[in-house]
Amino acid sequence: MIVDTINSASQFRDKFHEMGRDNNFSYEGLGALFEWLDDLSDSIGEPIELDVVGICCEFSEYASVEECCEQYDSEQFFTLEDLTDHTVVIPLPCGGVVIQDF
């Protein structure tokens, strides 16, 4: 088994680029995803195997909470709080969000 340790958001972004998936998320979105996954790994006390394609299938980035809520076209999702009650939401400094699809 070959294990590759990712210690920085820069290395994380590089892996997405190598797989041709660097357009799935913004620079900021990939940084936020790295931080969230790194924190999750610390919380569970285990390393997380990097699966770039799996992450692209499991998470989506939106320019705003409103855009995300419109995508789900549901009367139950209007605000950031509504979303966080149902899924992982990673707010971005630019006002966008990365969410775990549901």
Mean pLDDT of 5-20: 95
Cβ-based neighbour number of residue 26 at 10 Å: 16
- Write the pLDDT tens digit of every residue in 44-75: 999 999 999 999 999 999 999 888 878 876 66
| Per-residue pLDDT at 1 exceeds 60 | no
Per the structure, the complete domain to which residue 42 belongs is given by: 9-100
How many structural domains comprise the chain? 1
Mean pLDDT of 62-90: 81
Asked whether residue 60 is domain-assigned, the answer is: yes
H or E element at residue 92: none
Asked whether residue 50 is domain-assigned, the answer is: yes
Asked whether residue 3 is domain-assigned, the answer is: no
State both tokens at 90: 């990673």
Give the C-alpha separation, 64 to 94, whole Å.
9
pLDDT value, residue 57: 96
Asked whether residue 82 is domain-assigned, the answer is: yes
Asked whether residue 51 is domain-assigned, the answer is: yes
Asked whether residue 95 is domain-assigned, the answer is: yes
State both tokens at 60: 């989506």
Residue, of 82 and 17, whose pLDDT is higher: 17
Asked whether residue 2 is domain-assigned, the answer is: no
**Which residues lie closer than 8 Å to 29 by C-beta, 6 or more apart?**
61, 92, 96, 98
Q: What is the pTM of this model?
A: 0.87
Output the average pLDDT for the chain.
Answer: 89
State both tokens at 33: 């995803």
Asked whether residue 4 is domain-assigned, the answer is: no
Q: Kindly tell me the sign of the dihedral angle through the C-alpha atoms of 63, 66, 70, 71.
A: positive
